[in-house]
């Protein structure tokens, strides 16, 4: 068996872009269909000293899955769902399986794969593991890491290793970061090893879920409501999402968004699992919402309706990506932020972020996302390279303040290449040295995903 390293320009061009707006043309492309072929690529890369950057579906917003150095390794061909253990609630999948397909397969067995990136129809399990992807429902269920039980990894030296989570309830052996080596690979953005197989844990599928869209006259009222919803004991949402007036404007134009009211300037979208009776769930919400919103809410009941809500939610990043793409020739693009703060600081953080863009004369950004986790996405459109550099200045200023509020510069999309310069804002020299030491140990030739994170 000899796997081809493709260098035809049109093939290489089909892998030069992800969702970051950046383009990097790889020198070679490899499209393995088996673990053995991945090993072969890694061995050849090692002997020819060629870097290897993994790609799933290339929905990364940080240029993590594109490269102009060496081999772009597409893992899409490893797309088998090999085993579902209904009683043990696990599923084994190849890295190239789409997240939504894992969810659909699990659902046929009455089970739920909980991580739910908005991009689930266009992103793979390998990418979700490598970025520790999360989503709206991470508010209740947690991020991908929690659901990874075992990984098969092709290491930088071509060895194949299996890592299994020990799930010990007690353990005092050695440094905590070495307890579960599996955790080194989750969120490592392809820099420490190539995931070729994963065993994921599943939850029981909720029998019914209700979605509620609540509308507010101002951003301040909507954000106050987010904090109240998080702290109230009578409601137990699985997500608390916020949409500002511009995000709502985009959502209204999506095929499923025409019922969103015109007079709202902010929307909070929540979902809750129905434990006993849908009416009881709705009554609790009605009582809690009380007079805090004067606009009639929308109720999303049943799978089809919930899908509609996901569609208008997804239209926001998708539209912003498309708008950013229009300015590529002039050196512009969409600039997306992924910062998060402790949830009570969210209103303050958003007000500061808006003030910084106003002061720099930048057009109002679109703000939407995982408010329940203190994690909004703030998206700008840079129309040319000059505007891009002004916006990046605003983002950096915002990130400094986010950190002073106890936040993080990247809560779910990772660092990739375009956020690398912000890593030292958050991590001190010792933390970066520790990460560099792990990288050196696992990938001494620095072959894997050069430019990502470090
Ligand atoms: C419209 C839109 C909405 C989004 N919404 C969310 C969201 O709600 N939550 C969220 O977390 N993210 C979101 N994202 C970001 C992105 O979809 C996620 O990071 C996703 O998990 C990436 O998966 P992918 O298959 O596209 O990976 P890619 O973009 O191909 O790769 C991402 C990273 O994973 C590495 N990688 C891929 N496969 C492997 C492998 N087998 N082994 C080792 N490393 C590998 C790559 O090298 C790269 O570093 C969104 C993106 C878009 C465009």
pLDDT at residue 139 tops 80: yes
pLDDT at residue 1 tops 70: no
What's residue 59's pLDDT? 97
| Residue 223 CA, ligand 1 centroid: distance in Å | 28
Q: CB of 309 closer than 6 A to ligand 1?
A: no
Architecture of domain 209-411: 3-Layer(aba) Sandwich (3.40)
| Residue 133 CA, ligand 1 centroid: distance in Å | 7
| Residue 275 CA, ligand 1 centroid: distance in Å | 33
Residues 137, 419, 42, 12, CA torsion sign? positive
| Residue 50 CA, ligand 1 centroid: distance in Å | 23
- 17-57 pLDDT tens trace: 999 989 999 999 999 999 999 999 999 999 999 999 999 99
- DSSP helix/strand/coil, 103: helix
What's residue 222's pLDDT? 97
Residue that the structure tokens 């979605």 belong to: 211
**What phi, psi does 260 have (nearest 5°)?**
-70, 125
Please identify, in words, the CATH class of the domain defined by 81-204: alpha beta
Q: CB of 19 closer than 6 A to ligand 1?
A: yes
- 210-228 pLDDT tens trace: 999 999 999 999 999 999 9
The full set of domain ranges for the chain reads: 81-204, 209-411
Average pLDDT, the chain: 96
- 159-174 pLDDT tens trace: 999 999 988 899 999 9
Query: What is the number of the ligand 1 atom nearest to the C-alpha of 134?
Result: 11
Residue that the structure tokens 């970066």 belong to: 432
Fold match, 81-204 / 209-411: no
CA separation, residue 302 to residues 49, 206, 393 (Å): 53, 12, 44
388: alpha, beta or left? (left if phi > 0; alpha if psi -120 to 50): alpha
pLDDT at residue 117 tops 90: yes
Q: CB of 127 closer than 6 A to ligand 1?
A: yes
CA separation, residue 222 to residues 255, 265, 284, 300, 368 (Å): 24, 9, 19, 19, 12
Paired tokens of 288:
């809690």
d(CA 159, CA 155): 5
What's residue 449's pLDDT? 98
pLDDT at residue 58 tops 90: yes
| Residue 116 CA, ligand 1 centroid: distance in Å | 12
Which residue lies with its CA nearest to atom 5 of ligand 1? Answer: 118
Query: What is the number of the ligand 1 atom nearest to the C-alpha of 59?
Result: 26
| Residue 58 CA, ligand 1 centroid: distance in Å | 6
Among candidates 387, 393, 446, 336, which has minimal Cα distance to 62? 336
Side-chain half-sphere CA neighbours of 287 within 13 A: 10
- 318-371 pLDDT tens trace: 999 999 999 999 999 999 999 999 999 999 999 999 999 999 999 889 999 999
- 369-402 pLDDT tens trace: 999 999 999 999 999 999 999 999 999 999 999 9
d(CA 299, CA 291): 17
Among candidates 73, 69, 96, which has minimal Cα distance to 3? 73
Q: CB of 64 closer than 6 A to ligand 1?
A: yes
- Intra-chain end-to-end CA distance of the chain, in Å: 34
Average pLDDT over residues 151-158: 98
**DSSP character for 296?**
P
Per the CB < 8 A criterion, the answer to whether 300 and 309 are in contact is yes
What's residue 83's pLDDT? 85
């Amino acid at each position: 068996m000899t796997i081809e390293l493709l260098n035809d320009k049109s093939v290489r061009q089909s892998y030069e872009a992800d969702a970051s707006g950046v383009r990097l043309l790889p020198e070679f492309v490899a499209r393995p269909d088996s673990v053995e072929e991945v090993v072969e690529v890694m061995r050849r890369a090692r002997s020819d000293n060629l870097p290897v950057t993994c790609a799933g579906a290339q929905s990364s917003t940080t240029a993590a899955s594109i490269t102009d150095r060496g081999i772009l390794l597409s893992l899409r061909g490893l797309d088998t769902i090999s085993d579902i253990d209904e009683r043990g609630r696990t599923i084994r999948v190849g890295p190239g399986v789409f997240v939504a397909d894992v969810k659909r397969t699990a659902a046929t067995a009455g089970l739920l794969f909980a991580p739910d990136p908005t991009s689930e129809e266009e992103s793979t399990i390998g990418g979700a593991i490598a970025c520790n992807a999360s989503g709206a429902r991470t508010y209740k269920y947690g991020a991908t890491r929690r659901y990874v039980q075992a990984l098969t990894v092709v290491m930088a030296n071509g060895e194949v290793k299996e890592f299994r989570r020990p799930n010990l309830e007690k353990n005092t052996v050695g440094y905590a970061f070495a307890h579960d080596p599996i955790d080194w690979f989750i969120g490592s953005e392809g820099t420490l090893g190539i995931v070729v197989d994963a065993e994921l844990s599943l939850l029981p599928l909720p029998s019914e879920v209700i979605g509620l869209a609540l509308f507010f006259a101002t951003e301040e009222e909507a954000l106050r409501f987010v904090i109240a919803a998080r702290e109230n004991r009578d409601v137990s949402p699985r997500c608390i999402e916020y949409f500002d007036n511009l995000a709502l404007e985009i959502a209204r134009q999506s095929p499923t968004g025409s019922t969103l009211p015109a007079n709202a300037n902010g929307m909070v979208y929540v979902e809750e699992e129905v434990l006993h009776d849908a009416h009881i769930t709705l009554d609790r919400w009605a009582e809690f919402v009380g007079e805090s919103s004067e606009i009639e809410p929308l109720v999303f009941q049943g799978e089809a309706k919930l899908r509609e809500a996901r569609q208008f939610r997804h239209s926001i990043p998708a539209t912003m990506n498309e708008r950013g793409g229009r300015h590529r020739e002039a050196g512009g693009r969409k600039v997306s932020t992924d910062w998060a703060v402790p949830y009570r600081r969210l209103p303050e953080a958003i007000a500061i972020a808006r003030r910084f863009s106003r002061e720099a004369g930048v057009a109002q950004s679109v703000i939407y996302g995982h408010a329940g986790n203190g994690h909004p996405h703030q998206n700008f459109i840079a129309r040319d390279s000059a505007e891009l550099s002004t916006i990046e200045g605003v983002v950096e200023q915002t990130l400094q303040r986010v950190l002073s509020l106890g936040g993080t510069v990247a809560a779910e999309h990772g660092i990739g290449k375009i956020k690398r310069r912000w890593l030292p804002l958050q991590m001190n020299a010792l933390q970066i040295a520790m990460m560099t030491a792990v990288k050196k140990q696992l990938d001494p030739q620095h072959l894997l995903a050069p430019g990502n994170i470090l």
